[in-house]
Structure 1
Amino acid sequence: MEAVKDITETAAVDLGDLLDAGDDAVVILEAGDTRLLAHRAVLADRSPVFAAMFAHDTLEASSGAVSIPDVGGPVLRQLVSYLYTLRAPQLPSTAPQLLAAADKYGVSRLKEECERQVAAQLTVETAAAAAVLAVRHSCSDLKHAALAFIKTCPFEVMATQGWADAMLHQPKDLIEVSRLLYDPPPKSRSLSAKERARRLVQAAKQRAVGELRALIAAGADVGAREVAAALLVAGADRGATTDVGGKTALDLARQNNHRRLVEMLS
């Protein structure tokens, strides 16, 4: 009930501001072919970015028209609707774009709600884009959710068009996602050499890419590391050749007398 009261009181204040706004009460928002009329008082009250824009001698303040780049018409409508109603739209398909717009205009509550919607619809196809979105817009909750999801099925996610698109269009963000996925946990560095080797064999058998990278970085047995590295380079394709003399992972396993890996790869 308290939340409803806060919204009602805020809306009443905004409506009161509109009464004394004069001829400059309305501004035109433009995104592509979409043009919306909105009250300056509402925009400024709900968005610190709009407030700063109208408070200074900017082109937008003097012309009465504001261009909204990188935001589609439907998303702009949803953003403006939220600024008036403080009710987040339940349209999961546009949640990522609306999150980006909310972040750009400093609408923190809408951004948080969009985070929850994106996290709730994580799939193999959407996980990469969600992780990149979280990194780019500093969404900690969404980042943790997306990374945890990817770790459960890394090969499936990396084989999707979403991962390929991120690699093409957001390479820096994807590099950060990869770093967060594969940085070795601190506990791995304290393992004994025998335990590291045992875990590396197990991780290779399970094709657990993150664990393989962590154990290699922690200094697992050289021979086993070569086999694990071969698996990683080959994308866990046990029959693919590597850059180590054109040998397969199975060749390296035999060369280094790793019986368990030989059995696994045979």
Structure 2
Amino acid sequence: MLQHDTLEAGSGEISITDVEGPVLSLLLAYMYTLQAPQVPSMAAQLLAAADSYGLLALKGECEKQLVAQLAVETAAATAVLAVRHSCRNLTSAAVAFIKANLGVMATQGWADAMRNEPRELIEVSRLLAEPSEETKGLSEEEKGRRLIQAAEQGSVEKLRLLLKAGADVGAVEEGNRTALHCAAERGHVEAVRCLIDGGAEVDARTKWQHTPLHLAAICDHTDVVRLLVASRADLNTRDREGMTPLHWAVDHGNSEVVAALFEAGADTEARDERGDTALDCATRDNRQELIQILSQR
């Protein structure tokens, strides 16, 4: 501008109206040093400026910073920004984040984006309707396998993506174990909650007739037990040996689980195939703490 016959050359001044002062300072600092500023609070404005002035390397660094900051309150605005400035990586990350967190997304963020950026939000909505790259082209069998694997790992984000992609929440692996069985056995509370919200059968049975509640009781996962009970799991369901979750909790000496099941109203008079109640099992093994809990009635 200063080397040609322009207004700026004549006045010796360049007026920049699309970048605020603090952002322009960061932009100039980068141009002189090629060191990307680490200012997370200004990453969005700096990305827009870098895009306007063709600083692609800086734009890429800003994308990385924004991916690291994705949160339910800001994801909608970040997705809109990514679409507007043709940021492929940031768009993919923001859309994947939104898909995985639709159940807890901040409604205000969507309202603001709809009011201020309707055109870009339409594109974001279109991208949300498409299958994610992670699940695109997967067979139903593979989706089910990955759902069970995600449940074992306790990966709530993967579970949400797979469920949204149509994975069968009732898919089973060897032994007729569902994803809910696997999450309950590993003690992954949020994964259990996600699967229940996704329609998982709380009283599904393995080949040994174990329900998720049986497995949570056996493995001493009290929080999972409470969640399953609150989700109307059958407290007194019996497995192939006639044992209820309470029987198994006593058998493994899991006192907190025993107390939780007892307080929830588990049938202390239920008998296994040997004719033993949970109290009989506790007495036989001389588990005094459990005897005390089960003798309160």
Output the TM-score relative to the length of structure 1.
Answer: 0.49
- Structure number with the bigger relative contact order (C-alpha 8 A, sep ≥ 6) is 1
More strand by share: 1
More helix by share: 1
Larger radius of gyration: 2
Output the TM-score relative to the length of structure 2.
Answer: 0.44
